[in-house]
Amino acid sequence: MKRFTLNRRTMLRGMLGGAAVALALPPLEAMFNSNGTAYANGDELPRRLVTWFFGNGVALENPFDPNNNNLLWTPQGQGEGYTLSPQLAPLANVKEYCSIVSNLAILAKHPEVRGHHTGVSGFFSGFPYIKLDPMGANYSSKFGGPSIDQVAAGYIGDQTYLPSVQIRVSKRIVASEGPTLNYLSHKGPDQPLQPLHNPQDLFAKLFGGFVPQDDPTKPLRLNALDAVSEDVKRLQMRVGTNDRQRLDAHLASIAQIQKQIEAIAPECVPPAMPGETNADQDGKEPLDSVNKVMADLLVLAFHCDITRVASFQYTGSVGYTVFHMLGQSQGHHDISHDANANDLHDAATVKTVEAFAYLLEQLKASPEGDGNLLDNSCLLLGSDTASGLRHSDYNQPCIVAGGGGGALRHPGIHHDAGGANSSDVLLACLKTVAPDAATVGGGPGESTTPLGAIMA
Partner 1 sequence: MLRMFFSRPLPGVAVALAMLAGPGCYVGVDGDDGSSSISAGPTAGLTQGDSGSSGSAGSDSAGSDSAGSDTAGDDPPPALEPAAASLRLLLHRHYRNAIRDLLGDGPAAVVAPPKDTPINGFDAVGSAQLALSDASVEIYETSARAAAAAAMGDMARIEAYLGCAPTGPDDAACHGKLVATFGRLAWRRPLTDAEVARYVAVAQQAALDSGDFFTGVENVIAALLQSPYFLYMVEVGAADPEDSSRRYLTGHEMATRLAFFLTDSTPAPWLLDAADDGLLDDADGIREVATLLLEEPAAKDALDNYFSEVLRLRELDTLAKDPAVWPQWSPGLAQAMRTETLLLLQDIIWQRDGDFRDYLDAPYTFANNQVGPLYGLTPPGGGEWGDGFLKTPLPEASKRGGILGQGALMSVLAHISSTSPTLRGKFIREALLCESIPAPPGNVSTVIPPAGEAAPTMRERLEQHLTDPGCAACHMAMDPIGFGLENYDGIGIFRTMENGAVIDTVSEVNGATFDGARELGGVLKQQRAVSVCVIRNLFRHGAGHIETSGELPTLIDLEETFEARGFSLKALLVDLVANPAFRMVGTPE
Q: Sign of torsion, CA 331 197 354 386?
A: negative
Residues 355-394 interacting with partner 1 (rule: CB under 8 A): 385, 388-394
Q: Which of 119, 146, 369, 397 binds partner 1 (CB under 8 A)?
A: 119
Q: Which one, of 226, 134, 143, lies nearest residue 182 by Cα? A: 143
How many angstroms from the chain centroid is the CA of residue 278?
A: 20
d(CA 35, CA 31): 11
Beta-carbon-side half-sphere exposure of residue 376 (alpha carbons within 13 Å) = 23
Q: Are strands 48-53 and 371-372 parallel, antiparallel or unpaired?
A: unpaired
Instruction: Decide whether 193 or 268 has the Cβ nearer to partner 1.
Output: 193
Angstrom distance (rounded) from CA 357 to CA 91: 5
CA 269 to the chain's CA centroid: 25
End-to-end CA distance of the chain: give it in Å, rounded.
Answer: 41
- Does the N-terminal peptide bond of residue 26 adopt cis geometry, omega within 30 degrees of 0? yes
Q: Which stretch binds partner 1 (CB under 8 A): 12-20, 97-105, 117-125, 371-379?
A: 117-125
Asked if 326 is part of the footprint of partner 1 (rule: CB under 8 A), the reply reads no
Nearest distance in Å: CB 92, partner 1: 32
Interface residues for partner 1 in 257-276 (CB under 8 A)?
257, 260
Binding to partner 1 by residue 211, rule CB under 8 A?
no
Three-state secondary-structure class, residue 227: helix
Q: Which among 224-232, 366-374, 399-407, 411-419 is the span making contact with partner 1, rule CB under 8 A?
A: 224-232
Buried b (16+ CB within 10 A) or exposed e, 267-289: ebebeeebebebeeeeeebbbeb
- Are the C-beta atoms of 359 and 298 separated by less than 8 Å? yes
Least Å distance, CB 179 to partner 1, is 6
Q: Which of 213, 330, 366, 439 binds partner 1 (CB under 8 A)?
A: 330
Q: Say whether residue 117 binds partner 1 (CB under 8 A).
A: yes
Q: In the complex, what is the shortest distance from the CB of residue 398 to partner 1, in angstroms, rounded to a whole number?
A: 17
What residues from 230 to 249 belong to the interface with partner 1 (CB under 8 A)? 230-232, 235, 238-243, 245-247, 249
Give me the phi and psi of 32, to 5 degrees please: -90, 160
Considering only the stretches 31-39, 129-137, 262-270, 289-297, report the one whose residues sit in contact with partner 1 under the rule CB under 8 A. Answer: 129-137
DSSP bridge pairs for 415? 101
Nearest to 441 by CA among 105, 107, 114: 107
Show the site string, 157-196: x = touches partner 1 by CB under 8 A, - = not: -----xx--x----xx--xxxxx--xx---xx-xxxxx--
Contact track, partner 1, 277-306, x by CB under 8 A: ---x--x-----------------------
What CA–CA distance (Å, rounded) separates 306 from 309? 10
The DSSP 8-state label assigned to residue 194 in this structure reads P
Report the site for partner 1 in 58-97 (rule: CB under 8 A).
63, 66
* Residues composing the chain: 456
Contact residue for partner 1 among 1, 16, 30, 227 (CB under 8 A): 227
Q: Which is nearer to partner 1, 328 or 432 (CB)?
A: 328
- Return the number of the residue (105 or 295) whose C-beta is nearest partner 1: 105
User: Least distance from C-beta 183 to partner 1, angstroms?
Assistant: 8
Binding mask 23-62 for partner 1 (x = CB under 8 A): ----------------------------------------
Per the CB < 8 A criterion, the answer to whether 96 and 410 are in contact is yes
Provide, rounded to whole angstroms, the least separation between the CB of residue 64 and partner 1.
Answer: 8
CB of 240 to partner 1, least distance (A): 4
| Residues in 398-427 that interact with partner 1 by CB under 8 A | none
DSSP letters for 261-296: HHPPPP---PPPPPS-----BTTB--HHHHHHHHHH
